[in-house]
Structure 1
């Protein structure tokens, strides 16, 4: 039984899904993988089902109807994980923009640091911007939009996170047990911002781990102007709503 679960939401990822699954299972650390597929018409879920025969007890699939959004997929995965004994729960994209090798570094950042007595991170973020700008194959306009989006988030929320929209993360179990997941409202880019903001508001320790982000080479990006619009307006709404919330830990 692995103590680590990698959650990968999918929609039309037939070009990538088998390769990303095999890569995760090839790592030195034992990981389980949960694919959450939103009714991909290209047969992504069928590929996962075939691989389940090979990775029985390690590869799991949850199928949903229609595109319900990235945020709801992760919330679904978090709740699935909390019903089981995982200590470390990861978010990762299916398209290799997140290097699976970095799962090991994110997990390491969350482990207890017994040598010096310092606790590990409660949330480790795979960060594109904590050490310069580490993005490969993105158009300059996309890089600038992402970089300044994080700057905008820091200005509004006052959280010191360099990569506020990052979607490559490792949570310790206690974080997801503490956060009221049903109160996380956003579904696109803003979901990633809202989760980080909420984790910090609850007083958990967050560390940014530098990674190199590489844009997908196969499949189609799910990014849209609507997602950016939700993030822009959502940050202000999230900040205002926080004035009326109690962030005391209950667990």
Structure 2
């Protein structure tokens, strides 16, 4: 249909690239699902194709695999929820419905933390906070950067499901009690719960998808609270929904909270659109 070189015709609609990319993604996910179900995944790597007659044993019923893949295609259920995990940076994290899947964009916060603590032992040995921890991805990544015996990360979430998942992930990497503390917050101010700590780092990783009419409620709330929670020279990072919201926050911090913050920067991340 696309000619001898399988290229799109000149009149191909703009969605052609997106559709092709999505098909490639689905094919990769199907391969991962099949490989994960095999008793010996190495069998596939030694085979040239799926139909070369090599016998395989699977750990799951074919009907169950079919039902899972049907959910992915017909219900567009995220692949990470199908398999119960997400590969994020150098971590393999447990995830489930009710917990946000860690996104590639969030990795930039970890990089910023790494830059901030490099050569700054005061920051490295401080108390850091991840508000709205979800799967615990950010808390775990920051704790690993700080190193055992250095600072601590206080991770909080309103959702009992998220706290349970994050606890599992923290235990999986043997950081419970040593580097990461988990707190379940039940409908109280996320800043007030941390009054026992003098923080070096405060992060808001989308405490809830509903941030009010303009999506700024929680962000403004944390801006107001951060001035009394952060030590001088501390580090404060938001993940927002885009450039416009970021500029609104910067304007608020520059005008309404003039003199409270310094070195305010916006880091824009440009990633290709991904279909879930």
Give TM-score scaled by structure 1 length.
0.37
Give TM-score scaled by structure 2 length.
0.34
State which structure, 1 or 2, has the greater radius of gyration over its C-alpha atoms.
2
